[in-house]
A and B are shown apart, each in its own frame.
Chain A
Amino acid sequence: MNELDLIDDFDLEFGVNAEKQRDRRVWVTVDREALMDVGRFLFDKGFEHLSAISVTDYLDEGVYELTYHLWSYSDNFLVTVKTKISRNKPAIDSVTPIWGESAQIHERELHELFGVTFEGNTDLAPLFLEDWDGPPPFRKDFDWRKYVKENYYDKENEREKHYFI
């Protein structure tokens, strides 16, 4: 596979501008509606390994940016697909129909840490944060130090009062 061919394919199929980052590395930003089609298209091209999904919280713009890192074993080729969703009601289609279990566990973690709802994912139960009732902790407006002081420490306790200085 060639970077320029793939960029042309993106332009033809979806009308989006992909970017060659360096050899065998391509970045592309797509609309959230097109994500599933782009995913299927790439899976058929051999990008069968979803190595990671990550969420970036842009507080000022009010968006979450989801990044999907896709790897092709046959071509040793990495495609990074980015898409933006609203941060107030974060919801997006799950990619589990395409990448199955490996997508499932990433989405479950992101649901826990950022509160993103992945529609179509059957198991979004908490992964690490059992019994958690606070806001999603990785949101940038979550003041964890304040939360910890309110929920864990006692100002009157001799051992803990220095946390409040």
Chain B
Amino acid sequence: MTGKAKKLRRLIKSIWVFNWFNSCGFTELVPVVGSRWDMERFGMIVTGTPRHADVLFIAGYQTHKSIKRAKRIFEQMPEPRVVVALGACAMTGGMYWDSYNTIKRLEDYLPVNIYVPGCPPRPEAVFEACEKIFEHVLEMKDE
């Protein structure tokens, strides 16, 4: 079995997602879960624990307090793992760009693989981001 196939088998038979959302983050991603766009038809499931997750969805502005929890969640995820940051707030602070307590560069704290811009990002964009994970699967770290 080639390295890529091995990784694909490990990572993306189906993408299991763990959500870490602040503020309006989850309400913006609800359409992806709901029946119209329905992420489960692609085998994407929201897991109850980061230890079962392949992908960490992180959305909403992150504060100094919440980013510590996000790091702990990330550290619990098994390799290979992917971080997808959704929305303007996670990218730059968004409308909280001048707040004294929000994170402005998420990549300083977590190894972000994909940023999905938008306020909120369209469900199609979220699916495309997940599809891109397949394309770059060989570059990912294995154990």
Contacts and interface: CB of A to CB of B under 8 A. Distances in A.
A152 B104 contact: yes
A130 B100 contact: no
Identify whether the interface residues of B are mostly helix, strand, loop, or mixed. Answer: loop
A147 B100 contact: yes
Interface in B59-74: 63-65, 68
A144 interface: yes
Contact of A144 (B63, B65, B98): B98
Interface string B30-60: 0000000000000000000000000000000
A79 B64 CA distance: 37
Nearest to A129: B101
B134 interface: no
A148 B98 contact: yes
Contacts, number: 32
A129 B97 contact: no
A127 to B, nearest CB: 9
A153 B97 CA distance: 10
Contacts of B63: 128
A131 interface: yes
Nearest to A145: B98
Interface string A136-163: 0100000011011001110000011001
B99 A163 contact: no
A15 interface: no
A145 B96 CA distance: 11
A147 B97 CA distance: 12
Interface of A: 128-132, 134, 137, 144-145, 147-148, 151-153, 159-160, 163
Please name the 10 residue pairs, one residue from A and one from B, whose CB atoms are nearest each other, closest first. Answer: A152-B104, A144-B100, A130-B65, A145-B98, A148-B98, A137-B100, A147-B100, A130-B64, A131-B64, A148-B100
15 contacts: A128-B101, A130-B64, A130-B65, A130-B68, A131-B64, A132-B64, A132-B101, A134-B100, A137-B100, A144-B98, A144-B100, A148-B99, A148-B100, A151-B100, A163-B97
Interface of B: 63-65, 68, 92, 97-101, 104-105
